[in-house]
A and B are shown apart, each in its own frame.
Chain A
Amino acid sequence: EIVLTQSPGTLSLSPRERASLSCRASQSVSANFLAWYQQKPGQAPRLLIYGASDRATGIPDRFSGSGSGTDFTLTISRLEPEDFAVYYCQQYGLSPWTFGQGTKVEIK
């Protein structure tokens, strides 16, 4: 199965700063079938990005995804207070679908 490694484990930033989250796959993710989710405490994950770079419905344009092959990035251009959360990447190019271990974005 494809192992996804997210880094850093925790990102300490201030509101209005830019966040870059990395997701590295143990083998190439076919057709860039990679998604990103945001999860806040006590809530279900929320789909942000699919197909590595396509924003899901209703997601603000400060969220963007990029990358291909084995290296993917989620960028939040300017952090809003509601963006402090845990972010997961997920690949769906090769079954079984797998998730990264998550990156926590916390207020500095």
Chain B
Amino acid sequence: QVQLQESGPGLVKPSETLSLTCTVSGGSIGGYYWSWIRQPPGRGLEWIGWIGYIHDSEKTENSPSLKNRVTTSLDTSKNQFSLKLRSVTAADTAVYYCARGQSFFDYWGQGIVVAVAS
């Protein structure tokens, strides 16, 4: 059974960089696509981006609304993938989920609450 677990700081100061890691267990990260999705408090879901290591090549795509601030990466040796979101504001306060899939998402982490505040 594939399991995902997000980790990272729960509080980030405005203008700084939010950094999260997702650790995958129960299966290899290679050969699949992996995504980040977030959910602001009391609101709906927003897709952030996907990344995959397919046929010895890393591929990634991010949402245009966040594109210039987002960097995603993979570490196949640790079976982890990561998210960096630069220049955060209060609007980036949300539950951040990692999930398996490029298009739709069949396995999800439990989510991590990240607040942006000074």
Identify the A interface with B (CB < 8 A). 1, 33, 35, 37, 43-47, 50, 56-57, 88, 90, 92, 95-102
Q: How far is the CB of B15 from chain A (nearest CB, A)?
A: 25
- CB of B87 within 8 A of chain A? no
Q: How far is the CB of B40 from chain A (nearest CB, A)?
A: 12
Contact B106 A47 (CB under 8 A): yes
| Residues in B neighbouring A97, C-beta threshold 8 A | 47, 63, 103
* A–B pairs, 22, beta carbons within 8 Å: A33-B103, A35-B105, A44-B110, A44-B111, A45-B97, A45-B108, A46-B108, A47-B104, A50-B104, A56-B106, A57-B106, A88-B44, A88-B45, A90-B104, A95-B61, A96-B65, A97-B47, A97-B103, A99-B44, A99-B45, A101-B44, A102-B44
Contact B97 A90 (CB under 8 A): no
Q: How far is the CB of A105 from chain B (nearest CB, A)?
A: 15
Give me 10 other A-B pairs in contact (C-beta within 8 A), A35-B105, A102-B44 excluded. Answer: A37-B105, A43-B110, A44-B97, A44-B110, A47-B105, A57-B106, A90-B104, A97-B63, A99-B45, A99-B47
- CB of B8 within 8 A of chain A? no
Given the complex of chains A and B, what is the CA–CA distance between A37 and B105 in angstroms? 9
Interface size classification for chain B? 10 to 19
Identify the B interface with A (CB < 8 A). 44-47, 61, 63-65, 97, 99, 103-106, 108-111
Q: How far is the CB of B48 from chain A (nearest CB, A)?
A: 9
